[in-house]
Chain A
Amino acid sequence: MRTINLLLASLIILASSTYAFAGGPLYVGGKADVQGQPYRWNNSTPVTYKTDLGALGLLTKEQADQFTADCFAVWQNVPSANIAFSKSGNLSVDVTTSNFLSLANDPNSELNKNTVILYDTNGSLTDALYGSGASTHILGFASITDGASDGTNNYFRTGLAVLNGKFIDGVNYPEVSLDKFKEAFIHEFGHLAGLDHSQINVEALDYPSLRDADRLAGLPTMFPILLDTTPRPSLAPDDIAAISRLYPRPSFATSTGTIKGNVLFSDGRTPAQGVNVIARMIDNPGTTENESRRIAVSSVSGFLFTADNGNVITGYPGSAFGSRNTSHIGYYELSGLPPGTYTVEVESIDSRFVAGSGVGPLGSLGIQIRLPGTCQKEYLNLSPVESATDSCSDFSNIVVTPGDVIGAGTDIILNGTPPGTDAWESDSTWSNDPLINLETPGSEVLA
């Protein structure tokens, strides 16, 4: 069987910029915003959107609208999340290659004043934007196109999604089932909701033999690559936790637990950004399923922190997004954990997950780092305390009960990393620096 892994482009206009944030929220407030607060929709009312006039492959306009609503419904049906989407009407024109740019360049156009869902009937718009032939491997893309901070909240204002009908036009090649197409646009609408990519069970990417039912159940819908599997119409625990963090119902905090802390270098105090942290429920031998692969939640250390603070020499001011609070550099937060017993592990983010497929704060810069230190994978090991000298494979079982917020002793100290300062400076100099007085960020960040 030929394997085709399809690219899920999350961005269009911003794809090459450094604005994308990841590891949970897609955007995090920067210097001009409420710093460290993820951008999200104002969920006091349903998020409204308008749809394109054209058809979508074999789907009529009406069928396409229903398809869109079904995709949004997957997110709004998460019980612990309070987010709803509602179609407010149709665009006045069928957006095609002939009018897309003029509409995009007009700040007062429908395209820029609304959240819009475009139906690229035959892939021509995708080709026009991404290059000839792109429509054969990009199913679609989505992006936030406007947002603002009012000093209290960072809110999205408009968004855009393009669905490539070439994949469902009944003509090979390319062609996917409507259910697979839906899986893709649940993913894209997750971006519209404000979610970034995430990485769990990454081994399934390169090893089809590891795409077992357990791993696929735990594989996030927000995984950067659409794997050639049977359609997965439902969300993984990681997706549910992510959407619920952004739009929590009161039950979210009381029915699930949280493990949070910092990923630190071996000195036990210097934070490490860009490390993937995963809480996995330990396997229950009483079931036939492997819960450790199915029930897992991830967070990328430093997901709230800027990936680009700028440079005083060149004068480049850095990214407009991301916190400058250095207590966020190594911070991870694994909230939305169903009650149970967990292990917490750290790993590298796959080096291919960059740019439009980026995961974590560094991904959008085209950077992924190897897990610092001497371990390929490492665990939170509290026996007796987490240290830089424990075995890479030693771990602790952490019991999470509803409402738990476990944040003591949960800093993960990487083994075998270099000292916090080089030979020409003193640690004592920066130990008093408030930049590295690590404190676990308050819950207000995500409230």
Chain B
Amino acid sequence: MKSLSFATRLALILLLVSVSALISCGGGGGGGGSTTPPPVTPPVDTTPSPTISAMQPESVPAGNPSFTLYVTGTNFSNGAVILWANSAISTVYLGSTSLSATIPASAVATESSPTVSVRNPDGRVSSVRTFSVSTAPLNPAPVITSLSPAFAYVNTTFRVIVRGLGFRPGSKVFWNGSEIPSTYQNENEIDASISAANATIAGSYLFSVQTPSPGGGTSNRASFLLTSASPSKINVAALHLVYDSLRKRLYASGAPWDPVFRDKVVVIDPSTATIVTSIPVGAGPESLALSQDKSLLWVGSKYLGTIQKIDLNTLTPGPEMPLGNDPQYGTIRPVMLAAMPGSPLTVAVSRDAAMVSSSVAIYDDGVARPNIATGSNLPDRILFPDTPDTLLGSSSGVFKKLSVDAQGVTLLNTNSQATLGWYSDLYFDSGRLYSTFGTIVDTSGQLVGVLPGVAGTGGAVTRDVATGRILVLNNALNLLVYDQTSLLPVGFIPLAADAYLGGHDIAQLDSSRFAFISNDQIFIASGNMVPAGSPTVATTSLPATSPGKIYDFSLTSYDATSPLSWTLAKGSGPLPPGLELQQQGRIYGKVGAINSDTTYNFTVLVTDSSRPAVAATKNLSIQVKTTSLGSNNECATATPISPGRLAGSLSPYGDIDVYSFDGTAGANITVETFAARLNYQQGTYIPDPPGDTVIQLLNSSCSPVAVNDDQPGTLDSLIAYKLPTSGKYYIRVLDSRGDGRPDFLYELELTSK
């Protein structure tokens, strides 16, 4: 008769403790007689000792109930015990790299720092780690919400106020991973200081805050910009400037109110921010145009109604050449000049007379071609789009196009409705006309794109020849940096914190320096062309699904300022039918019907909350299968995922969900479930959720390397692990009781940095 009494079942548990106690006595017996043994050479012991690399958790508050301690390491043997403050506790052998043990409540009843080590049955003991039992309440995980200021200049010592949530007196501030001096102010503010020695290289830096255990953890990372230098101001009152990349000189037209440089073109060495010389020209020089071969600088004078060329090899001004007289309105005055490509002596001039009669004419060394475009809708801002037969421009913010031939210039009817913005600066490159209004048109005036976050008036636009990025100087004197292909903002550079609002005539001097005019002052500023805060889309692939399924996967991005805004990029392919990309990055919906297996390729655009916003794109795809997805209950049939957050369920009964991802050696990953906490997040409080997740991280051989049941304060699970090797990794999710049901919903988040 089989008889397993209730009492016996209780006794079994007690027996386990007894066995454990026996093991803890350790030592080997031996015995026998005692005669002097012959000398022998002891064999070389090659059996490795166990090592401990991590514990989960590493601390609990005093008075914590009994909990499961997971120990990760190497060379664990079946039957190993955990030595908790030198007392043996039996373990559950989870493989050579993982053990678990139940730590009784009595072991953590009071504040202490018990040692933890692993002893194999052969007596070999690992190194010792220290566990923390604290009477202090659990520290919250810190969160950085802002930095003030958000940038500083290199080679200066400065102070940054780190603002956020959950700071504690023991919280530390890190600057690109290195701790820096800081002073705790309150739970929302820490003052940090960075010495000049730590701020010598311009670029993007990351602030983070670490709060010690119990609880605590590492915050999100907040971007900080270190710019090269504060702008230099040239002591010239100027109206316009151009840059001669051949001679590395700036040419500026002196303002009439500059007592020294009025009626002169000033030559500046931007490398030293010094004035090289000045060239006397006709009174009231304003607009400037540099010939394509850099041999001549054309100067327009509204005051005189003339144009004038300067030989840049000799810095000798030519004669003042009047534009002529309008029969009704009198003197014709130059508004803007545009040097014709390939013809240094030819210049296009937008003109007006008495500020009401506008026209565009072509001058060959001061002689106007006969056909002159006249009317009320002619552009005041003009440029040659790399070819001598066309002029592009804007009139009252409307795109205009003119044809140029030997007879002169003719306004074309483009029917363009594109708005380029009043007083916008224009820049042409590779078939596109960029405006500081943010709009981009082709040579027909058709809108081909928009630079997000720009819309304004005035300003300046140019292109970084080294990186191909479009640079827009906005009214706040931030240099907005855009990727020329995607038209996405990739950062910004605060050029002149002490300059005035508004700027124009930007000129790029080299890979990191710019000259521009603000409030008639010439500034030379430096900035990193790849500024901080560029978000990186962490999600690289998405799991497949099938029609009728509720798809729920949240994309993630890092190194960006939250909150993020997600959308499909312009020109992206569609999502599978029934799915939508929500603003918070969640791809959600019930997958619609399709006829055959289909892969949907699309591009997501994420924009962060920095000002101006920074964005990034990622090409992703979702495969929708009409055939069975199979089950993901084991490594061989795992669901491939990448960093992000997915919604799943442990259902039906006994379900185990296995996910796989490609890991990189050295990457710090976290795997976390949200199940018990979902009830709170969704606003419905359920005291006892149906499920209690347990997660396990497995290597490419499907062998466990880390495991967690509950993290402090919740039934949900968390593994933080530094991947030792590159390759495939697996995540197993199941219920602690082996349960499973459709309403056992969980979210699984994978991060990797």
Which of B629, B651, B737 contacts A307, CB < 8 Å? B737
> Which of A175-183, A209-217, A233-241, A264-272 contacts its partner?
A264-272
Whole-angstrom CA separation of A76 from B627 in the bound complex: 60
Which of A27, A145, A273 contacts B7, CB < 8 Å? A145
B40 close to chain A: CB less than 8 A: no
B649 close to chain A: CB less than 8 A: yes
Whole-angstrom CA separation of A429 from B628 in the bound complex: 7
Q: Give the contacts of B519-549 with A (CB-CB under 8 A).
A: 543-546, 549
Which of B92, B639, B653, B707 contacts A424, CB < 8 Å? B639
- Tell me how far the C-beta of B207 lies from the nearest C-beta in chain A, rounded to whole angstroms: 37
Which of A17, A149, A424, A428 contacts B657, CB < 8 Å? A424
Is the beta-carbon distance between A421 and B6 smaller than 8 angstroms? no
Is the beta-carbon distance between B654 and A310 smaller than 8 angstroms? no
Number of interface residues, chain A, beta carbon within 8 A: 65
Is the beta-carbon distance between B543 and A424 smaller than 8 angstroms? yes
B2 close to chain A: CB less than 8 A: yes
- Tell me how far the C-beta of B513 lies from the nearest C-beta in chain A, rounded to whole angstroms: 52
Is the beta-carbon distance between B1 and A420 smaller than 8 angstroms? no
B732 close to chain A: CB less than 8 A: yes
Is the beta-carbon distance between A265 and B743 smaller than 8 angstroms? yes
B359 close to chain A: CB less than 8 A: no
Is the beta-carbon distance between B737 and A425 smaller than 8 angstroms? no
- Counting chain B CB atoms within 10 Å of each CB, the highest count among A417, A425, A435 belongs to A425
Is the beta-carbon distance between B549 and A372 smaller than 8 angstroms? no
Q: Which residues of chain A are near B1, meaning CB under 8 Å? A: 148, 150-151
Is the beta-carbon distance between A318 and B737 smaller than 8 angstroms? yes
Is the beta-carbon distance between A312 and B653 smaller than 8 angstroms? no
Q: Give the contacts of A1-40 with B (CB-CB under 8 A).
A: 13-14, 17, 19, 27, 32-33
Whole-angstrom CA separation of A340 from B640 in the bound complex: 56
A369 close to chain B: CB less than 8 A: yes
Proximity string of chain B (699-717) to chain A, C-beta cutoff 8 Å, 1 when within and 0 when not: 0000010010100000000
Is the beta-carbon distance between A369 and B734 smaller than 8 angstroms? no
Proximity string of chain A (235-272) to chain B, C-beta cutoff 8 Å, 1 when within and 0 when not: 00000000000000000000000000000011100111
A419 close to chain B: CB less than 8 A: yes
B320 close to chain A: CB less than 8 A: no
B551 close to chain A: CB less than 8 A: yes
Is the beta-carbon distance between B94 and A424 smaller than 8 angstroms? no
Is the beta-carbon distance between B741 and A273 smaller than 8 angstroms? yes
Whole-angstrom CA separation of A419 from B744 in the bound complex: 11
A354 close to chain B: CB less than 8 A: yes
Is the beta-carbon distance between B736 and A314 smaller than 8 angstroms? yes
Closest to A421 in B: B651
Is the beta-carbon distance between A436 and B653 smaller than 8 angstroms? yes
Number of interface residues, chain B, beta carbon within 8 A: 61
A174 close to chain B: CB less than 8 A: no
Which of A157, A326, A419 contacts B550, CB < 8 Å? A419
Known: A32-B2, A313-B707. A265 touches B741 (CB 8 A): yes
Closest to A365 in B: B737
Whole-angstrom CA separation of A433 from B652 in the bound complex: 10
Is the beta-carbon distance between B631 and A426 smaller than 8 angstroms? yes
Known: A19-B9, A147-B5. A435 touches B631 (CB 8 A): no
Proximity string of chain B (602-646) to chain A, C-beta cutoff 8 Å, 1 when within and 0 when not: 000000000000000000000000001111100000010000001
Q: Which residues of chain A are near B464, meaning CB under 8 Å? A: none
Proximity string of chain B (227-264) to chain A, C-beta cutoff 8 Å, 1 when within and 0 when not: 00000000000000000000000000000000000000
Q: Give the contacts of A380-403 with B (CB-CB under 8 A).
A: none
Known: A267-B742, A273-B741. A149 touches B4 (CB 8 A): yes
Is the beta-carbon distance between A315 and B629 smaller than 8 angstroms? no
- Counting chain A CB atoms within 10 Å of each CB, the highest count among B5, B639, B648, B655 belongs to B5
Closest to A354 in B: B688
- Excluding A32-B2, A423-B648, A430-B652, 15 further A-B contacts by CB distance (< 8 Å) are A146-B6, A148-B5, A149-B4, A271-B741, A310-B738, A313-B94, A314-B709, A315-B93, A316-B736, A419-B550, A421-B651, A423-B646, A425-B631, A429-B631, A430-B631
22 contacts between A and B (CB under 8 A): A19-B6, A112-B7, A144-B6, A145-B6, A146-B7, A148-B1, A271-B741, A309-B738, A314-B92, A314-B694, A315-B100, A326-B654, A418-B651, A419-B742, A421-B651, A422-B549, A422-B651, A424-B648, A425-B629, A425-B639, A426-B630, A429-B629
Q: Which residues of A are at the interface with B, using a C-beta cutoff of 8 A?
A: 13-14, 17, 19, 27, 32-33, 107, 112, 144-151, 157, 265-267, 270-274, 307-316, 318, 320, 326, 329, 351, 354, 365-370, 372, 417-426, 428-430, 433, 435-436
